[in-house]
């Protein structure tokens, strides 16, 4: 999406315009047996926007466009970063955590009439040459290649500082990371691996495994549970195993307290899935404590 197109969408939000409700693409539909899951557009598809979605903990949906423009899809607010941004995750209570190359920064959420120019405060460089940034619930992660193996960093916010905790070097290629800081979820091949704690207290367990496909994405909500994406579908990883929720190719996923967001491949739009409380998910605190999951 160009900056001009983003501004047009922002103008429609400001005027309270209702976007035309589009049907779901023919390659996207709800999986059999999960009729209780409600699927609706959070951002209807119109064209390939090229803007990755960003989801705040409260469920507010944003887009990152042109590597600099961050704007809300539900209210007339946007700001322009003062440096190129490769990725961003919400790092509340009032700022984004940004990644530019391998340098981390914070970009405050500004108040006032748009456009707003945000100043990025550098937090230093990560010890990974080509890291990826991942959102957690009240947490953030970076992961990537470290020498001849993949590594995960839990990025803990302590007052105004950021403290990276190196989790044990993982065996296998890491496709995605999620979690809440105390517990980190890592997608390796078909497996979802849970890493509890850090350092000498670190404990690793296999939480669940997809029967046939490698995982491409993970999302976690303490209210709803653990979700995954593959090359062909989006689903739930719970006590009873893997439950397919949506059949759609190459999607990205993110979770808030009460919903799962699915960005269709090609950034064609974002779906919102609710009614997920009926699924029986993992209680990560009980799993960590050695109790029944």
In sequence order, the 6+-apart residues with CB closer than 8 A to the CB of 209 are 190, 191, 192, 242
How many Å is the Cα radius of gyration of the chain?
Answer: 19
Predicted TM-score (pTM) of the model is 0.88
Q: What is the CATH number of the domain that holds 115?
A: 2.120.10.30
Mean pLDDT, the chain, whole residue set? 84
Q: Which residue has the higher pLDDT, 231 or 80?
A: 231
> Has residue 213 been placed in a domain?
yes
- Closest C-alpha among 124, 183, 189 to residue 152: 183
> Has residue 160 been placed in a domain?
yes
> Has residue 111 been placed in a domain?
yes
> Has residue 268 been placed in a domain?
yes
> Has residue 293 been placed in a domain?
no
Among left, alpha and beta (phi > 0; psi -120 to 50; other), residue 63 is beta
How would DSSP label each residue in 224-284? TEEEEEESSEEEEEETTEEEEEEE-TT-EEEE-SS-EEEEPGGG--EEEEE-GGGS----H
Rounded mean pLDDT, 205-231: 95
Rounded mean pLDDT, 250-277: 93
Distance CA(137)–CA(97), nearest Å, equals 13
Distances 58 to 55, 183, 195, 227 between C-alpha atoms, Å: 8, 20, 25, 18
Structural domains of the chain, count: 1
The predicted-structure confidence for 98-149, as pLDDT tens digits, reads as follows 999 999 999 988 776 666 788 898 998 998 999 999 999 888 999 999 888 8
> Domain range for residue 84?
3-288
Q: What SS3 class is residue 9?
A: helix
């Amino acid at each position: 999406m160009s900056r001009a197109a983003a501004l047009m969408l922002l103008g429609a939000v400001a005027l309270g315009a209702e976007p035309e409700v589009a049907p779901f693409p023919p390659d996207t539909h709800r999986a059999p047996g999960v009729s209780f899951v409600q699927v609706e557009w959070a951002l209807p598809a119109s064209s390939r926007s090229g803007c990755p979605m960003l989801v705040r903990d409260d469920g507010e949906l944003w887009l990152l466009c042109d590597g600099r423009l961050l704007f809300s899809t539900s209210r007339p607010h946007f700001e322009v970063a003062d440096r190129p941004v490769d990725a961003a995750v919400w790092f509340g209570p009032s700022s984004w955590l940004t990644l530019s190359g391998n340098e981390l920064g914070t970009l405050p959420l500004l108040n006032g009439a748009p456009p707003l120019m945000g100043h990025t405060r550098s937090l230093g460089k990560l010890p990974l040459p080509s890291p990826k940034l991942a959102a957690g619930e009240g947490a953030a992660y970076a992961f990537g290649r470290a020498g001849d193996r993949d590594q995960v960093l839990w990025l803990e916010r302590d007052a105004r500082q950021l403290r990276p905790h190196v989790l044990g070097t993982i065996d296998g290629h890491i496709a995605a990371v999620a979690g809440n800081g105390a517990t980190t979820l890592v997608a390796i091949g078909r497996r979802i691996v849970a890493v509890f704690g850090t350092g000498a207290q670190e404990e690793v367990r296999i939480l669940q495994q997809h029967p046939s496909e490698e995982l491409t994405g993970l999302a976690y909500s303490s209210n709803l549970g653990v979700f995954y994406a593959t090359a062909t579908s989006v689903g739930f990883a719970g006590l009873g195993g893997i439950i397919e929720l949506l059949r759609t190719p190459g999607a990205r996923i993110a979770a808030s307290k009460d919903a799962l967001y699915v960005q269709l491949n090609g950034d064609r739009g974002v779906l919102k899935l609710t009614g997920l409380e009926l699924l029986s998910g993992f209680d990560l605190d009980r799993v960590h404590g050695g109790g029944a999951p």
